[in-house]
Amino acid sequence: MINYFLGKLVMTQGINNEVAKNEKFAKEISVCLKRYITCDWGEMCNEDKEMNDNALRNGNDRILAAYDTPEGKIYIITEHDRSYTTILFTHEY
């Protein structure tokens, strides 16, 4: 698995609260993160997926993926400098 680009992994309070009270959602977040680190960018258009692939190769742009979960759509975003990867609900963006 490719995981050198994640940096520090963090989540918003909204994601953290839902993970703490919902074991099924916690497992779903784990599945989404596994998809992310294997470069499965989720529910993104082909152009955005290509931009993520280029950003990963070049190391100069942020990476953003979107995943549908039963509790709502989430984003996983890695900063352009690869210092942080944040998991958040789309409404928290």
Q: Which residues of 14-51 are buried (b: 16+ CB within 10 A; e: fewer)?
A: bbeebbeeeeebeebbeebbeebbeeebbebeeebeeb
Q: Would you say residue 14 lies in a domain?
A: yes
pLDDT (tens digit per residue) in 65-79? 999 999 999 999 999
Domains in the chain, number: 1
pLDDT (tens digit per residue) in 25-44? 999 999 999 999 999 999 99
Length of the chain: 93
Q: Would you say residue 77 lies in a domain?
A: yes
Return the residue matching tokens 């549908």.
68
Q: Would you say residue 55 lies in a domain?
A: yes
pTM comes to 0.93
Q: Would you say residue 31 lies in a domain?
A: yes
* Domain range for 80: 10-92
